[in-house]
C-alpha cells in the first residue's frame, strides 16, 4: 500500500499530465493516425533539445535557459549552408560541424558568465539568451551586407543589408535527415522487441544461474511485452495506425545517439565530477575538483547538444523565421522536461522522453480540444502558452518549498 | 634526529587591516602528533588553511613566511597541490556529499576509471567508473580504521560519528598521504567515539603518517601530542614537548591574558543574586546551525550584567538568538512571570526585550537606509514613536527623529557625515554603534547583546563597552552579553556563565582564575 502511495506522490506531475492528455484526446476526437504520426514527428524533432538540459541540471546549474544560444548557433549554421547551396546528408553533416564549432565557443563564453554569477544561472541564462539574440540580430540584420560582404539572391533583403526574416531552406534540405530512410512504426516495434529479446537472453546466460527469481521476473516481463506487441499488431484498428505511421530512422538514430551520450557521460569520471559539483561546490573544490572548469564543460555540452537539437528541429520544419525561431526553444524544452517529472536538481534521460511525449501530445491536442469546448481555436493556443509557462512556475515554487522543508528538517536534526 | 616532514617559518597573514597571524613557527616530524591549541580566533584554522592552500587564503593576497616540505620550500596555492604533496585534512564541517555512498565519498575526485573507446580519444576524464575496484579499495581503507560499514550505503543516513570516520577513511585511502590535519574532530563525537578516534590516530602515526591535531579538549591533546603549539591572538605563545605540562597549565597558557582586576566593574555576586529574577530560562533548546543550545537553565536578575562565554560551536550564541525568536526553539522562558512565545520576534520586542545581533550586516542593519532611520526604526515599529498624528493619518516626524539620531551620534561618537548617511559606508565599529543606538532608543528593559566587539577596533570597543555599563548603571537596563572575548566579559559583567556543549557548565565570578575559565570552557570540571 505504501509503495503505491509513494509511486503516486513521486510521479504526481507525470500522472497529472497523462490524465490531462487523455482528457484532451477524448474531447478533441481526432483520428488516432493523425495524432500518432503528428506526435512521432514532434517527438523526433524536440527530444534532443530537451536532452540538452540534463547535464547542467546534474552539475547543479538548474534549468539552462541558455540553450537558446545553442539554438541560434544552429540557425547560423543553416544560414551558411543554405548560402553554400549544400543539400541532403552532406548539407546536414556540414551544418552539424559548423554549429558544433559555433556552439562550443558560445558555450565556453556562457560557462564563464555562469561562473561569474554562481547561484543565479537560470536568470543569467535567460538574459544571456536575450543578449545573444541582440548579437545575432546585429550580425545577420546589420553587419551582413555592410561590414561583412554578403549577397545572396535567395537570402538577402533587397536593399542588400541583412538576411530575410523568413528563411526557406533550399529543395532537398527540408527533411534531409528525416527522408533518408523511413520505416513503418510496426517494423520498428518488432525490431526493438527482437533487440530486447536478445538482450534478455544475454543477461540470463551471463548471470542468470545464480539468481533464479530474477530470471523468472525477466521472462514474465518479456511475455507481457510480447503479448502487448502482438495485440498492437493484430487488433485491426490499432495495427492500421502502426503500419501507416512512418519513423525517420536516421533522426531516430541521432536521438538515440545523443541519449546514449548523455547516459554514457553520467557513468564516467566527468559525470561523477558533474554530480559532485552539483551537490556541493565547496566540497568539490576542497577535494581538488576544478569547479569552474567542470561548470564550463557542462555548459558547453548543453549548448552543443542544444544546437544539434535545433538543427534536427529546423530540418524537419524546412522553413523558419530567421530572427524569432529560437525564442521559445528554452521555455518549451524546459516545460517538457518538467512535465516528465524532472526537477531543478534532478533529471534523467527517461524523464526527458516521458516529458517530450506528454508535452507534445498536449500541445497538439489542445487547439482542437479548445475548439470543441469553446468553439475557438485561440483558446487552445492560449492554453498551450499557459501550460508551458505555468509548468515552469509551478516547478520553481515546488523546488523552493522542498528546499525549505529540507532545510527545516536539517535544522531539527542538528 | 628524525626526518623533518614539515616546517612553517614566520607565517604571517592579514585579512584587510587585521593581522591574524603574526609570525608563527612550527615543526613536525614524520609519524608525530602535533597539537594546535588556542582560543577561537587565535589563528589555528587560518594556519591550516594556509597549509592546505584554501581559496580563502589565496584570494586574499596569500601569506607571508616560508613553508618547507621535506626540506624543500613550497608555495601551496590550491588544495589539489596540497593533496599532491600528501597533505590531507579532516575538516571541522564535514566535506562529505550526503547523497553519495561511502565509496563515492572516499573516492571523491580520485575515482578509478576503466578506459573505453571514447576515453582513448578524449582523455581519461571520459573513462567509465570502475565501481568494483573503488568498492574494494574503500573496504580496505575502512578496515584499516576498524569501521564496520558497508561501502555502498549513503553517507547522509549515517550518524555524525560515522561520518567523521568516513572522512578519515578518505584520507587514509590516499596512497601518498604523509600528513593528516584533524580540525576539531572530537567536537561532535560521543565519548566512546572520541576514544576510538584517539586509538585510530595512534595507529595512523605508528604507520609513519604525521598528524596535526586541533582540539579544545585539553585532556585529549595532552594524551596524544608529541608536541603542543599554543597560539593566542595570532602569536605563538609557546611550543611544549610531551610531558612538559598538564591540562591546567595548558588552560592557563591558552586563556592567559593579564586581566587588570583594578578595572573590574562587576558587583558582588551575593548582592546580585538577592535581586528579583526578571527572566527564568528553563531547559531552553535552540537549533541554530553550528551553535546548538541543548538545555540551558539560568535565572537573569534585575539590573545585572550577565555574560555568556564559551568556545565557538558550544551554543552560547544560540541562547539570545533563540529568545529573540530568530531560530526554532523549545523549552520555557518566563519573563516577569509570563511565558515568552518562541519564533515570534515581534512579541518579544513588544515586551521591551531588545536584541543586538552578532550578524550586524545581515540581521542588524538596513544598509541602504539612513542612519537616522536605522536608529529610530525599532522605536517607530514597536513603540509608535516619532509619529505625528492627524486624525486617521500618521506622519513620520522627521524633526524629532533627527534630534534623537543626532543625540545618539554625539553620545556614541559615531563617525559619519551626518544622520542621513547610509550605514553601508561606515566602518564595522561605527555600524555596531548604530545597532546599539537603535536598541537603546527603543528603551528596552532587558537588552541582549551578541558579540558587540567582534571585528572592530579598540577605540570603538571601549566606547561600546563603557556605554553598555553606563546604560546599566543609569537606566537600570538588564544586560545579557554574549562574547568570545573573555577579557571584556570579565571587566564588565557581574556574573559570567560558561556555556559548554549547549548547557550552562558553571556560573563564575569575573575574578575567578584564568585556569578555571580555561578548563571549564574546554569542558573539564575545575
pLDDT digits (tens, 9 = 90+) for A301-339: 999 999 999 999 998 888 889 898 888 898 889 989 988
Asked if residue B450 and residue B332 are part of one domain, the reply reads yes
Question: How far is Cα B9 from Cα A119, in angstroms, rounded to an integer?
Answer: 39
Residues of B with CB under 8 A from a CB of A: 54-55, 78-80, 83, 89, 91, 95-100, 104, 108-109, 111, 113, 118-119, 124-129, 287, 289-290, 292, 327-328
Could you say which of A273, A286, A411 has the minimum Cβ distance to residue B289?
A: A411
- What is the sign of the dihedral through the CA atoms of B376, B381, B382 and B387? positive
Place of cell 547542467: A56
Burial status of residue A215 (CB atoms within 10 A of its CB: 0-12, 13-18, 19 or more): middle
Question: How far is Cα B348 from Cα B337, in angstroms, rounded to an integer?
Answer: 14
Residue B1 confidence (pLDDT) above 50: no
Asked if residue B187 and residue B67 are part of one domain, the reply reads yes
Asked if residue B464 and residue B450 are part of one domain, the reply reads yes
Whether B92 is in a domain gets the answer no
Question: How far is Cα B395 from Cα B295, in angstroms, rounded to an integer?
Answer: 46
Per-residue pLDDT tens for B255-289?
Answer: 765 555 566 677 888 888 888 899 999 999 988 87
Within 8 A of B125 by CB-CB distance, chain A residues are 268-270, 273
Per-residue pLDDT tens for B145-164?
Answer: 888 888 888 888 777 778 88
Residue A167 confidence (pLDDT) above 70: yes
Domain count, chain B: 4
| Residue numbers of the domain that contains B111 | 98-174
Residue B2 confidence (pLDDT) above 60: no
Within 8 A of B129 by CB-CB distance, chain A residues are 267-269, 271-272
Asked if residue B40 and residue B114 are part of one domain, the reply reads no
Residue A414 confidence (pLDDT) above 50: no
Per-residue pLDDT tens for A103-152?
Answer: 999 999 999 999 999 888 999 999 999 999 999 999 999 999 888 888 88
Burial B369-403 (b: 16+ CB within 10 A, else e): ebbbbbbbbbbbebeebbeeeeeeeeeebeeebbe
Q: Write out the three cell numbers for B196.
A: 576510538
Give the residue extent of every domain in chain A. 14-409
Contact A414 B292 (CB under 8 A): yes
Please name the residue of chain B whose CA is at the shortest distance from the CA of residue A294: B125
Per-residue pLDDT tens for A346-396?
Answer: 899 999 999 999 999 988 888 888 888 888 777 777 877 787 788 788 777
> Residue A103: its pLDDT value, please?
96
Per-residue pLDDT tens for B135-147?
Answer: 999 998 888 888 8
The last residue of a domain, from among B407, B442, B477: B442
Check if the beta carbon of residue B63 is closer than 8 Å to that of residue B12: yes
Question: How far is Cα B185 from Cα B183, in angstroms, rounded to an integer?
Answer: 6
Could you say which of A268, A275, A287 has the minimum Cβ distance to residue B127?
A: A268
The three state secondary structure string of A78-120 is: HHHHHHCCCCHHHHHHHHHHHHHHHHHHHHHHHHHHHHHCCCC
Check if the beta carbon of residue A323 is closer than 8 Å to that of residue A75: no
Whether B71 is in a domain gets the answer yes
Asked if residue B270 and residue B338 are part of one domain, the reply reads yes
Asked if residue B329 and residue B372 are part of one domain, the reply reads no
Average pLDDT, chain B: 85
Per-residue pLDDT tens for B382-401?
Answer: 878 888 888 778 888 888 88
> Residue A412: its pLDDT value, please?
53
Residue A411 confidence (pLDDT) above 60: no
Give, for B447, the enclosing helix (H) or strand (E): strand B446-450
> Residue A355: its pLDDT value, please?
92
Check if the beta carbon of residue A322 is closer than 8 Å to that of residue A157: no
Asked if residue B180 and residue B170 are part of one domain, the reply reads no
Asked if residue B383 and residue B496 are part of one domain, the reply reads no
Q: Binning pLDDT at 50, 70 and 90, where does residue B44 land?
A: confident
Share of chain B above pLDDT 70, in %: 95
pTM: 0.75
Rg (CA), chain A: 23
Q: Binning pLDDT at 50, 70 and 90, where does residue A408 land?
A: low
The three state secondary structure string of B28-52 is: EECCCEEEEECCCCCCHHHHHHHHC
Could you say which of B55, B89, B109 has the minimum Cβ distance to residue A289?
A: B109
Mutating which of B87, B125, B166, B181 best tests the A interface, going by the most A Cβ atoms within 10 A? Answer: B125
The last residue of a domain, from among B395, B424, B442: B442
Could you say which of B97, B118, B289 has the minimum Cβ distance to residue A279?
A: B97
Phi, psi of B333 (to 5 degrees): -125, 120
Contact B79 A268 (CB under 8 A): no
Question: How far is Cα B428 from Cα B436, in angstroms, rounded to an integer?
Answer: 12
Phi-psi region of A189 (alpha: psi -120 to 50; beta: other; left: phi over 0): alpha
Asked if residue B317 and residue B252 are part of one domain, the reply reads no
> Residue A104: its pLDDT value, please?
96
Question: How far is Cα B68 from Cα B75, in angstroms, rounded to an integer?
Answer: 9
Question: How far is Cα B493 from Cα B486, in angstroms, rounded to an integer?
Answer: 10
Contact B125 A269 (CB under 8 A): yes
Asked if residue B67 and residue B17 are part of one domain, the reply reads yes
> Residue B41: its pLDDT value, please?
67
> Residue A333: its pLDDT value, please?
93
Mutating which of B108, B287, B314, B330 best tests the A interface, going by the most A Cβ atoms within 10 A? Answer: B108
Residue A50 confidence (pLDDT) above 90: yes
ipTM, interface predicted TM-score of the complex = 0.78
> Residue A42: its pLDDT value, please?
92
Q: Write out the three cell numbers for A2.
A: 505504501
Check if the beta carbon of residue B309 is closer than 8 Å to that of residue B498: yes
Question: How far is Cα B429 from Cα B456, in angstroms, rounded to an integer?
Answer: 5
Contact A288 B78 (CB under 8 A): yes
The last residue of a domain, from among B139, B174, B209: B174
> Residue A182: its pLDDT value, please?
87
What are the CA-CA distances from residue A8 to residues A2, A20, A338 (Å)?
A: 10, 16, 16
Mean pLDDT throughout A265-281? 90
Mutating which of A279, A288, A297, A345 best tests the B interface, going by the most B Cβ atoms within 10 A? Answer: A288
Q: Binning pLDDT at 50, 70 and 90, where does residue A292 land?
A: very high
Q: Write out the three cell numbers for B27.
A: 615543526
Residue B178 confidence (pLDDT) above 60: yes
Contacts for B43 with CB less than 8 Å, ≥ 6 apart: B13, B20, B21, B24, B231, B233, B234
Residues of A with CB under 8 A from a CB of B: 264-265, 267-273, 275-276, 279-280, 282-290, 408, 410-412, 414
- What is the sign of the dihedral through the CA atoms of B206, B209, B215 and B221? positive
Question: How far is Cα B186 from Cα B197, in angstroms, rounded to an integer?
Answer: 8
Q: Binning pLDDT at 50, 70 and 90, where does residue B443 land?
A: confident
Bridge pairing between strands B446-450 and B478-482: parallel
Place of cell 561569474: A116
Min mean pLDDT across A323-327, B67-71, B103-107, B486-490 is at B486-490
Looking at the complex, report in whole angstroms how far the Cα of residue B109 sits from the nearest Cα belonging to chain A: 6
Say how many CA atoms lie within 13 Å of A73 toward its Cβ. Answer: 27
Phi, psi of A151 (to 5 degrees): -145, 130
Asked if residue B266 and residue B337 are part of one domain, the reply reads yes
Is residue B174 classed as helix, strand or coil in its secondary structure?
coil
Within 8 A of B327 by CB-CB distance, chain A residues are 411
> Residue A49: its pLDDT value, please?
95
Asked if residue B136 and residue B147 are part of one domain, the reply reads yes
Within 8 A of B99 by CB-CB distance, chain A residues are 279
Whether B2 is in a domain gets the answer no
> Residue A101: its pLDDT value, please?
96
Contact A270 B126 (CB under 8 A): yes
Check if the beta carbon of residue B284 is closer than 8 Å to that of residue B329: yes
Amino acid at each position: 500500500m505504501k509503495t503505491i502511495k509513494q509511486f503516486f506522490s513521486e510521479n504526481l506531475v507525470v500522472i497529472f499530465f497523462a490524465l490531462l492528455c487523455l482528457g484532451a484526446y477524448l474531447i478533441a476526437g481526432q483520428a488516432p493516425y493523425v495524432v500518432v504520426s503528428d506526435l512521432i514527428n514532434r517527438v523526433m524533432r524536440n527530444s534532443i533539445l530537451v536532452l540538452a538540459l540534463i547535464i547542467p541540471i546534474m552539475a547543479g546549474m538548474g534549468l539552462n535557459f541558455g540553450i537558446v544560444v545553442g539554438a541560434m548557433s544552429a540557425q547560423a549554421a543553416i544560414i551558411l549552408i543554405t548560402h553554400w547551396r549544400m543539400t541532403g546528408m552532406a548539407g546536414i553533416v556540414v551544418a552539424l560541424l559548423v554549429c558544433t564549432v559555433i556552439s562550443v565557443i558560445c558555450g565556453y563564453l556562457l560557462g564563464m558568465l555562469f561562473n561569474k554569477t554562481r547561484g543565479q544561472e537560470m536568470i543569467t541564462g535567460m538574459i544571456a539568451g536575450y543578449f545573444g539574440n541582440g548579437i545575432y540580430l546585429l550580425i545577420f540584420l546589420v553587419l551582413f551586407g555592410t561590414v561583412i560582404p554578403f549577397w545572396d539572391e535567395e537570402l538577402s533583403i533587397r536593399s542588400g543589408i541583412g538576411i530575410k526574416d523568413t528563411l526557406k531552406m533550399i529543395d532537398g534540405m527540408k527533411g534531409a535527415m528525416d527522408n533518408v530512410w523511413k520505416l513503418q512504426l510496426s517494423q520498428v516495434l518488432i525490431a526493438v522487441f527482437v533487440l530486447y529479446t536478445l538482450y534478455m537472453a544475454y543477461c540470463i546466460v551471463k548471470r542468470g544461474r545464480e539468481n533464479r527469481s530474477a530470471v523468472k521476473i525477466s521472462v514474465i516481463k518479456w511475455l507481457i511485452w510480447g503479448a502487448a506487441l502482438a495485440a498492437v499488431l493484430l487488433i485491426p484498428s490499432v495495427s492500421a495506425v502502426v503500419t501507416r505511421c512512418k519513423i525517420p530512422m536516421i533522426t531516430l538514430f541521432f536521438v538515440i545517439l545523443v541519449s546514449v551520450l548523455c547516459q554514457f557521460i553520467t557513468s564516467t569520471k566527468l559525470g561523477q565530477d558533474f554530480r559532485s559539483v552539483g551537490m556541493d561546490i565547496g566540497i568539490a573544490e576542497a577535494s581538488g575538483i576544478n569547479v569552474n572548469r567542470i561548470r564550463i564543460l557542462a555548459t558547453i555540452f548543453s549548448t552543443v547538444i542544444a544546437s544539434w537539437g535545433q538543427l534536427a528541429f529546423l530540418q524537419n520544419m524546412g522553413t523558419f523565421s530567421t530572427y524569432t525561431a529560437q525564442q521559445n526553444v528554452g521555455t518549451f524544452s524546459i516545460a517538457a522536461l518538467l512535465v516528465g517529472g524532472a526537477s531543478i536538481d534532478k533529471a534523467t534521460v527517461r524523464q526527458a522522453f516521458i516529458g517530450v511525449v506528454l508535452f507534445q501530445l498536449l500541445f497538439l491536442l489542445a487547439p482542437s480540444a479548445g475548439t470543441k469546448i469553446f468553439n475557438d481555436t485561440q483558446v487552445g493556443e492560449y492554453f498551450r502558452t499557459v501550460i508551458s509557462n505555468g509548468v515552469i512556475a509551478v516547478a520553481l515554487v515546488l523546488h523552493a518549498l522542498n528546499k525549505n522543508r529540507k532545510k527545516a528538517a536539517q535544522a531539527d536534526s542538528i | 634526529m628524525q626526518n623533518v616532514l614539515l616546517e612553517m617559518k614566520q607565517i604571517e597573514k592579514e585579512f584587510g587591516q587585521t593581522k591574524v597571524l603574526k609570525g608563527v613557527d612550527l615543526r613536525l616530524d614524520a609519524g608525530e602528533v602535533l597539537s594546535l591549541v588556542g582560543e577561537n580566533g587565535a589563528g589555528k584554522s587560518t594556519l591550516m588553511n594556509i597549509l592546505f592552500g584554501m581559496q580563502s587564503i589565496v584570494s586574499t593576497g596569500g601569506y607571508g613566511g616560508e613553508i618547507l616540505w621535506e626540506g624543500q620550500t613550497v608555495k601551496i596555492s590550491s588544495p589539489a597541490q596540497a593533496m599532491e604533496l600528501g597533505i590531507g585534512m579532516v575538516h571541522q564541517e564535514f566535506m562529505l556529499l550526503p547523497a553519495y555512498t561511502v565509496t563515492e565519498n572516499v573516492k571523491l575526485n580520485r575515482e578509478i576509471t576503466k578506459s573505453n573507446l571514447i576515453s582513448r580519444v578524449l582523455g581519461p576524464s571520459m573513462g567509465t567508473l570502475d565501481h568494483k575496484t573503488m568498492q574494494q579499495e574503500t573496504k580496505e581503507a575502512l578496515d584499516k580504521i576498524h569501521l564496520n560499514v558497508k561501502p555502498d550505503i549513503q553517507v547522509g543516513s549515517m550518524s555524525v560519528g560515522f561520518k567523521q570516520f568516513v572522512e578519515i577513511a578518505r584520507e587514509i585511502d590516499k596512497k601518498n598521504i604523509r600528513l593528516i590535519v584533524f580540525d576539531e574532530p572530537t567536537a561532535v563525537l560521543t565519548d566512546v567515539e572520541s576514544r576510538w578516534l584517539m586509538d585510530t590516530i595512534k595507529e595512523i602515526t605508528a604507520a609513519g603518517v604525521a598528524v596535526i591535531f586541533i582540539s579544545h579538549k585539553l585532556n585529549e591533546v595532552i594524551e596524544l601530542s608529541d608536541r603542543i603549539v599554543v597560539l593566542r591572538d595570532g602569536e605563538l605563545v609557546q611550543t611544549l614537548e610531551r610531558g612538559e605540562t598538564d591540562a591546567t597549565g595548558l588552560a592557563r597558557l591558552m586563556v592567559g591574558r593579564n586581566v587588570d582586576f583594578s578595572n573590574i566593574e562587576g558587583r558582588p555576586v551575593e548582592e546580585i543574586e538577592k535581586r528579583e529574577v526578571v527572566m527564568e530560562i528553563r531547559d531552553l533548546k535552540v537549533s541554530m546551525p553550528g551553535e546548538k543550545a541543548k538545555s540551558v537553565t539560568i535565572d537573569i536578575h534585575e539590573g545585572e550584567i550577565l555574560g555568556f562565554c564559551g568556545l565557538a560551536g558550544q551554543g552560547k550564541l544560540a541562547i539570545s538568538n533563540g529568545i529573540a525568536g530568530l531560530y526554532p526553539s523549545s523549552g520555557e522562558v518566563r519573563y516577569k512571570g509570563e511565558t515568552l512565545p518562541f519564533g515570534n520576534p515581534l512579541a518579544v520586542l513588544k515586551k521591551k526585550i531588545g536584541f543586538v545581533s552578532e550578524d550586524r550586516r545581515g540581521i542588524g542593519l538596513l544598509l541602504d537606509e539612513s542612519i537616522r532611520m536605522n536608529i529610530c526604526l525599532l522605536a517607530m515599529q514597536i513603540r509608535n514613536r516619532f509619529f505625528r498624528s492627524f486624525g486617521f493619518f500618521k506622519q513620520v516626524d522627521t524633526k524629532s527623529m533627527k534630534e534623537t539620531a543626532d543625540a545618539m551620534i554625539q553620545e556614541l561618537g559615531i563617525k559619519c557625515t551626518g544622520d542621513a548617511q547610509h550605514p553601508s559606508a561606515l566602518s564595522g565599529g561605527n555600524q555596531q554603534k548604530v545597532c546599539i543606538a537603535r536598541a537603546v532608543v527603543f528603551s528596552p528593559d532587558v537588552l541582549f547583546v551578541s558579540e558587540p566587539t567582534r571585528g572592530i577596533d579598540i577605540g570603538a570597543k571601549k566606547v561600546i563597552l563603557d556605554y553598555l555599563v553606563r546604560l546599566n548603571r543609569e537606566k537600570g537596563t538588564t544586560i545579557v552579553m554574549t562574547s568570545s572575548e573573555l577579557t571584556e566579559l570579565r571587566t564588565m559583567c557581574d556574573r559570567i556563565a560558561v556555556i559548554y556543549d549547549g548547557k550552562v557548565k558553571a556560573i563564575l565570578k569575573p575574578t575567578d582564575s584564568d585556569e578555571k575559565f580555561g578548563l571549564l570552557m574546554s569542558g573539564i570540571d575545575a
